[in-house]
Amino acid sequence: LTVRAGSYAEELVKTAKTIASPGRGILAMDESNATCGKRLASIGLENTEANRQAYRTLLVTVPSLGDYVSGAILFEETLYQSTTDGKKMVDVLVEQKIVPGIKVDKGLVPLAGSNDESWCQGLDGLASRTAAYYQQGARFAKWRTVVSIPNGPSALAVKEAAWGLARYAAISQDNGLVPIVEPEILLDGEHGIDRTFEVAQKVWAEVFFYMAENNVMFEGILLKPSMVTPGAECKDRATPEQVAEYTLKLLHRRIPPAVPGIMFLSGGQSEVEATLNLNAMNQSANPWHVSFSYARALQNTCLKTWGGRPENVNAAQEALLIRAKANSLAQLGKYTG
Ligand code: 13P
C-alpha cells in the first residue's frame, strides 16, 4: 500500500471493504435536482426542496436498510440536509451502518471535436470540494461519465472519459474519499452484445492505463460498470446467463483482483432483470465482490407506491426493502425469485 493515497491509504482500503461486504450493495440516491425533478414529475409532484427532502427522508429511514445496503450516494443538497424530523441525513445513514457517499461530478456537456459525444465536468476545485465533503461525513465519491456506442465511440471521447476518471480518482483518494469509477456505456442503440463487449474492453483498458499513470491505489477504489448487454433497440435479447458470461469475461480480462468491489449500475434495466443478472454473475466464485449500485432498479416501485402521500410512506419503504433484499440475495448468488 505504498502507492500514494498518502495518510488516507489505510482508511480508504477499510472504507472500500466495508462497502464491498457480503450481501450488501449501494443505494444510488444522488439524482441531480434536474433528474430528481423528472422522477417527482412522474408522480405528479413539484420539484421543490421540501419534496426532495420528504422523498430522501423516506429512503434513508427504511427500517433495517443497512442489512442490505452498505453505502448510499447522495447529491450535494442531501449531504447538507436534515430529514423532515430534523436529523442530519448523514447521521441517520451512519446509525443504519450505511456509509454516506457523494456525487462529485458536475455533469455532461458536449465534447468539442467529437461525433456529438459528451465529456464530464467537475475537476476544477475538486480537491477543496472533496475535502469539505469528507468533513461533512462523506467517505466515498462518484463520478459518472458516459460513452455512447451509436455515436462511435470516438477514440477522443474514450480517452477523455478515462483521463477524467483517473484524475478524479487520484484527487478523491488524496482527500480520503473512495472513488467509484463509473464510465457508463449507454444502453442506447441497435448493436449486439459482441459490439458492447468490444467497446467495454477498450474503455476499461484505457481507464486502468490512466489510473495507473495517476498513481491511483487500486485497493481503495470501487468500480461501477454497465453490464455487457445488447443495445436497448437490438432485436436479439440476452438471457441473464449470457449477460453474466460476457460481463464476467470482460471483468476477468480487464480488472485486477486488487480492486475490492464491482458495483453495477442498472442503466434502465427493469427491477427484476437487474436482480436476475446480478444473481447470474454470482453463481461463480469471483475475485472481487460483485454487487449493485442501483438507482432506478431499487427505487422505481418505491417511488410509485409513495406517490407523494404521507399515508403511503410505510408501503413505499416496504417496496424498497423488497428490492434491497432481493439484490442482497443476488449478491450472494441465492436469489430464487
Ligand atoms: P441506475 O441504476 O438508474 O442506472 O443509476 C445508477 C447511477 O447512479 C448512475 O450513475
**Does the Cβ of 71 fall within 6 Å of ligand 1?**
no
Active-site residue flag, 182 = yes
Q: Between the CA of residue 326 and those of 62, 84, 133, 319, what are the distances in Å?
A: 15, 28, 31, 11
Q: What is the ipTM of this complex?
A: 0.92
Sequence-distant (6+) residues with CB within 8 A of 301 are 271, 319, 320, 322, 323
**Does the Cβ of 327 fall within 6 Å of ligand 1?**
no
**Does the Cβ of 300 fall within 6 Å of ligand 1?**
no
pLDDT in tens, 236-293: 999 999 999 999 999 999 999 999 999 999 999 999 999 999 999 999 999 999 999 9
Euclidean distance between CA atoms 30 and 280, whole angstroms: 27
Q: Which helix (H) or strand (E) holds 249?
A: helix 240-254
Buried b / exposed e across 247-268, counting CB within 10 Å, b at 16+? Answer: bbebbeebbeeebbbbbbbbbe
Best residue among 78, 185, 229, 294 to mutate for probing ligand 1's pocket (most ligand atoms within 8 Å of CB) is 294
Ligand 1 midpoint to CA 2 (Å): 33
As to burial, measured by CB atoms within 10 angstroms (0-12 exposed, 13-18 middle, 19+ buried), residue 140 is buried
- With both helix axes pointing from N to C terminus, report the angle between 49-60 and 296-306 in degrees, rounded to the nearest 10: 110
Active-site residue flag, 224 = yes
Q: How many CB atoms lie within 10 A of CB 185?
A: 25
pLDDT in tens, 203-247: 999 999 999 999 999 999 999 999 999 999 999 999 999 999 999
pLDDT in tens, 19-72: 999 999 999 999 999 999 999 999 999 999 999 999 999 999 999 999 999 999
Euclidean distance between CA atoms 147 and 177, whole angstroms: 24
